[in-house]
Chains A and B, each alone.
Chain A
Amino acid sequence: MNKKINTIIFKVCSPLMTLAAWEIMSRTGVLDIRFFPPPSLIFADIYKLFAEGILLKDIWISLFRICCGLLMGGLPGLILGVLMGRSILINKFFQPLIALTFPIPKLAIIPLIILLFGIGEFSKIFIVAVGVFFLIVINTFHGVSRIDRIYFDLCKIYKYSLYDRWRHIIIPGALPAIFNGLRLATGTAFILIVGSEFVAADSGIGYRIWVSWEVFQIIHMFSALFVLAFLGWAANGIIKILERWAMPWKTDYQRECEE
């Protein structure tokens, strides 16, 4: 219990102390206040932007794009990853394709996607989906193909049904790797949505950052950055809760090791 309180104190204190140091340095002129407005003003600005309804709209549209992208890339990735893990033939066919296309930085194909789909909503969702797809495919494939073969021996010995085999061996066996993929994919989704909103958008958090910088409203830029940091942190927290729910067999120690 003591240890728990300890970690919570650190989790709260280290960001707070960093913000306090920043506040003092901005106020005393160590940091140039034009480029580094003090956090208290940033929070006030966030409050103001929320009150005006601008920020909420930006958050909503960016999250919408991220969620659509996660679904659009994640579901096919999940299916293909499982198929590759279960079938050598499918694996042999797709492995080289993935090896060749995965290393391309996803931001590099933004122009191509705009060329193909225009600068509408679909382009931004699609670029997220592409990035998500690869991470989910690769992690799901590894998860499925590395399930201990001893469990498949058990299938033969105890004559598990096809349903039991999928429900109680393949899916739970691959789940830790799939969640790993989901965590990485969500991080990538944030990077990609901000990148594509820089280039071709008139809404969203990335657009807000870019436009604030263009008109030299540094404080709005910081506000959007703070919100972005919070959203990333919250997304990670949601995934953690999902993991706990989906994999109740993991011990706290195992969870700590994976973080």
Chain B
Amino acid sequence: MQDREIVQVRNLTKKFKTSANTDILVVDDVSFSIKEGGFYSLIGPSGCGKTTIIRIIAGIEKSDAGEVTINSAGGEGHVFSLAYQQNDLMPWLTVEDNIRLGLNQKGYDRDKMSSVINSYLKEVGLEKFNKFYPTRLSGGMQKRVSLARALSVNPELLLLDEPFAFLDFQTRLTLHKLILNLFMEEKKSIFFVTHNVPEAIMLSEKIIVFTARPARIKAIVDIPFTYPRNLEKIRTYKDYIDIFDKVSELLKDEISKSDEMERKKMLEKVLEHE
């Protein structure tokens, strides 16, 4: 059971069309798999195609070649849910209605519905905020609601696309703890996209390091720390520094390459207009 692979990605390739009608290769022949009950991080320079990969897995976008195989355990039907970097709550719906909308397909009756909503709000520590509109909550609280919504549909795999990128350090740490708690209690598989090295080491058991665009797998790094982890103390764990250096070293060239590419692109754009 522990060795079931919930997602298998084989030779995934994705191109985007530019305005000049040329193809840009975004994801190039990527293969990996996610084990059930695993916490995997995907790390790479910004703009490398991380989000594209997670969107293809989630079924929002189509790939140009290769395939994504989902091995669902069956049951309630929701294989994924995704929490985003941006604020992904509907500002016109209250906290509980945001969650309810995702649950409408489940056919719960009234009582079951509200008990499910309340239990997940409780899990993220927002049980008293069910009638609030999202704009009245802080950024960190909004992320908690997004997480509650993602969990409420009882997905087998939680896809997280840099959900904490815009939060301050302390809020982020609190949410890291929350995520790890959820991971251990709910026994979810988690696939986490980030460009933050310490974050990836803190949370995950495997880090898949990607190259600059087009995204290819550069290395897969195992994190030997067991759960539960003490996040405040994680920097003092044996091997932390070594792992940090290793991942940073792997990323270093890719980040400068991506930076170079970005500048070239900007320059071309400006010259094109002149």
- Chain A residues in contact with chain B, CB under 8 A? 150-151, 153-154, 156-161, 164, 168-169, 172-173, 175, 247-249, 251, 254
Q: A159 CA to B103 CA in the complex, in Å?
A: 9
Give the residues in chain A near B136, CB-CB below 8 Å: 251
Given known A153-B82, A251-B136, contact A160–B88 (CB-CB < 8 A): no
**Judging by beta carbons under 8 Å apart, are B60 and A172 in contact?**
no
> Given A150-B84, A159-B78, A172-B90, 4 more contacts at CB 8 Å?
A151-B90, A153-B60, A160-B101, A168-B101
The 5 A-B pairs with the shortest beta carbon distances in the complex, nearest first, are: A158-B102, A172-B92, A249-B133, A249-B92, A159-B105
**Judging by beta carbons under 8 Å apart, are B81 and A169 in contact?**
no
Q: Which residue of B lies closest to A167 (CB)?
A: B101
**Judging by beta carbons under 8 Å apart, are A168 and B93 in contact?**
yes
Q: A21 CA to B133 CA in the complex, in Å?
A: 46
- CB-CB contacts below 8 Å: B147-201 with A: 149, 153
Given known A154-B88, A247-B92, contact A160–B135 (CB-CB < 8 A): no
Give the residues in chain B near A160, CB-CB below 8 Å: 101-102, 104-105
Give the residues in chain B near A161, CB-CB below 8 Å: 104-105
Q: A147 CA to B20 CA in the complex, in Å?
A: 26
Count, chain B residues at interface, CB 8 A: 26
B58 close to A (CB within 8 Å): yes
- CB-CB contacts below 8 Å: B92-128 with A: 92-94, 97, 101-102, 104-105
B80 close to A (CB within 8 Å): yes
**Judging by beta carbons under 8 Å apart, are B91 and A164 in contact?**
no
**Judging by beta carbons under 8 Å apart, are A168 and B90 in contact?**
yes
Give the residues in chain B near A173, CB-CB below 8 Å: 92
Q: A148 CA to B91 CA in the complex, in Å?
A: 11
B59 close to A (CB within 8 Å): yes
Given known A168-B90, A247-B92, contact A158–B135 (CB-CB < 8 A): no
Give the residues in chain A near B11, CB-CB below 8 Å: none
Q: Which of A153, A157, A158, A249 contacts B91 (CB 8 A)?
A: A249
Q: A175 CA to B82 CA in the complex, in Å?
A: 26
**Judging by beta carbons under 8 Å apart, are B80 and A157 in contact?**
yes
Query: What would be 7 A-B contacts, judged by CB atoms less than 8 Å apart?
Result: A151-B88, A157-B59, A157-B82, A159-B78, A168-B97, A172-B93, A249-B135
B230 close to A (CB within 8 Å): no
B86 close to A (CB within 8 Å): yes
Q: Which residue of B lies closest to A153 (CB)?
A: B60
Give the residues in chain B near A248, CB-CB below 8 Å: 133
Given known A159-B105, A168-B93, A169-B90, contact A251–B82 (CB-CB < 8 A): no
Q: How far in angstroms is the closest Cβ of chain A from B120?
A: 14
Q: How far in angstroms is the closest Cβ of chain B from A114?
A: 44
Give the residues in chain B near A168, CB-CB below 8 Å: 90, 92-93, 97, 101
Q: A168 CA to B96 CA in the complex, in Å?
A: 13
Give the residues in chain A near B97, CB-CB below 8 Å: 168
